[in-house]
Amino acid sequence: MEKGAAAAEVPVPRVAVVVFLLKGKAVLLGRRRSSVGDSTFALPGGHLEFGESFEECAARELIEETGLDIDKVEFLTVTNNLFLKETKPSHYVTVFMRAVLADPHQVPQNLEPGKCDGWDWYDWDNLPKPLFWPLQKMVQEGFNPFPIGSNS
């Protein structure tokens, strides 16, 4: 076997950037349509493109998926997610960002219906089920995306 063919068969880690888009005490979630985590609720986001900052990726993905412009984008945390039991095993380093709407009157649109059943706001204390497992794990571990002491 040639070196190039062997290298092509080895899966490599990918980088995803997802966004906790906050509105009051709610977050924006959509129901996934995907081979990984199908029908689970997840944050908006996607693959980091070459040369992009995490903030640029977050803003681009939100516009592509929901039509929403975001503001005050900041880094929260990063997780290492292995999806080894999937039909096509994958490994994602997931960068979690936090943001708010640039205009609080914007309404999310479902611009990628092949990837998502739609977007809605969910109260952090009453999240829908089932959550996409990386998000579920964070919730179970007590992660809170809201700024400390915030009432907004």
Sequence spans of domains, the chain: 9-140
| DSSP structure class, residue 27 | E
pLDDT confidence bin for 102, thresholds 50/70/90? very high
**150: confidence class by pLDDT, cuts 50, 70, 90:** low
Identify the band that residue 152 occupies on the pLDDT scale cut at 50, 70 and 90: very low
Contact 40, 32 (CB under 8 A): yes
- Class of the 9-140 domain? alpha beta
Instruction: Report the mean per-residue pLDDT for the chain.
Output: 92
Q: What are phi and psi of 131, to 5 degrees?
A: -85, 150
Report pLDDT digits (tens) over 118-133. Answer: 999 999 999 999 999 9
- pLDDT in the model for residue 8: 56
In 67-150, the DSSP E strands lie at 70-83, 90-101, 116-123
pTM: 0.90
Amino acid at 37: G
